[in-house]
Amino acid sequence: MASHGLLYDGCNFFRQRLVLSTLSGKRVKIKSIRSKDDNPGLRDFEASFIRLLDKVTNGSTIEINQTGTVLFYQPGLLYGGSVEHDCNTQRSVGYYLEALLMLAPFMKTSLKATLRGVTNDHIDPTVDVLKSTALPLMKKFGIDGEGFDLKVVKRGMAPGGGGEVVFTCPVRRTIRPVQLTDPGKIKRIRGVAYSVRVSPQMANRIVESARSVLNQFIPDIYIYTDHMKGANSGKSPGFGLTLVAETLNGTFLSAEMSSMPPGQGDPILPEDLGRDCGKLLLEEVYRGGCVDSSNQSLALLLMTLGQQDVSKVLLGPLSPYTIQFLKHIRDFFQIMFKIEVQKPSEDERKGGDKVLMTCVGVGYSNINKTLK
pLDDT level of residue 148 (50, 70, 90 thresholds): very high
Q: DSSP labels for 112-141?
A: EEEEEEBSB-SSSPPHHHIIIIIHHHHHHT
pLDDT level of residue 2 (50, 70, 90 thresholds): very low
Check: CB of residue 115 under 8 Å from CB of residue 167.
yes
Own/partner pairs, 5-9, CB within 8 angstroms, 24+ separation: 5/29, 5/74, 6/331, 6/332, 7/31
Task: Compute the average pLDDT of residues 101-122.
Answer: 95
Check: CB of residue 213 under 8 Å from CB of residue 282.
yes
The H-assigned helical ranges of 176-319 are 201-214, 270-287, 296-304
Report which residue type is found at 313: V
- Distance, in Å, from the CA atom of 48 to the CA atom of 39, rounded to the nearest integer, reads 17
CA 259 to chain CA centroid, Å, is 20
> What pLDDT, in 10s, does the model give residues 242-255?
999 999 999 999 99
How is the chain split into domains, by residue range?
A: 1-76, 186-287
83 strand-pairing partners: 113
- Distance, in Å, from the CA atom of 72 to the CA atom of 29, rounded to the nearest integer, reads 4
Cβ contacts of 243 within 8 Å, gap of 6 or more: 189, 190, 191, 210, 214, 223, 254, 255, 256, 277, 278, 280, 281
The H-assigned helical ranges of the chain are 14-24, 44-56, 93-103, 127-129, 135-140, 201-214, 270-287, 296-304, 320-333
Q: What is the pLDDT of residue 1?
A: 40
Domains 1-76 and 186-287 share a fold: no
> What pLDDT, in 10s, does the model give residues 12-42?
999 999 999 999 999 999 999 999 999 999 9
- The candidate with the shortest Cα–Cα distance to 365, out of 320, 308, 293, 325, is 308
Check: CB of residue 351 under 8 Å from CB of residue 285.
yes
- Burial category of 170 from C-beta neighbours within 10 Å (exposed 0-12, middle 13-18, buried 19 and up): middle
Tell me the pTM: 0.94
> What pLDDT, in 10s, does the model give residues 209-243?
999 999 999 999 999 999 998 889 989 999 999 99
Q: Mean pLDDT over all residues of the chain?
A: 93
To the question of domain 1-76 being in CATH 3.30.110, the answer is yes
- Distance, in Å, from the CA atom of 69 to the CA atom of 87, rounded to the nearest integer, reads 21
**186-287 CATH choice from 2.60.40.10, 3.30.360.20, 3.30.465.10, 3.50.50.60:** 3.30.360.20
- The candidate with the shortest Cα–Cα distance to 235, out of 115, 91, 119, is 119
CA 132, 133, 134, 138 torsion: positive or negative?
positive
Query: Checking DSSP bridges between strand 77-78 and strand 57-58, what pairing results, if any?
Result: antiparallel
Q: What is the pLDDT of residue 362?
A: 94
Q: What is the pLDDT of residue 4?
A: 64
Which H helix or E strand runs over 344?
none
- Distance, in Å, from the CA atom of 341 to the CA atom of 324, rounded to the nearest integer, reads 18
Cβ contacts of 70 within 8 Å, gap of 6 or more: 29, 30, 31, 32, 33, 64
> What pLDDT, in 10s, does the model give residues 39-82?
999 999 999 999 999 999 999 999 999 999 999 999 999 999 99
Q: DSSP labels for 133-174?
A: IIHHHHHHTT--STT-EEEEEE--BTTT--EEEEEEE---S-
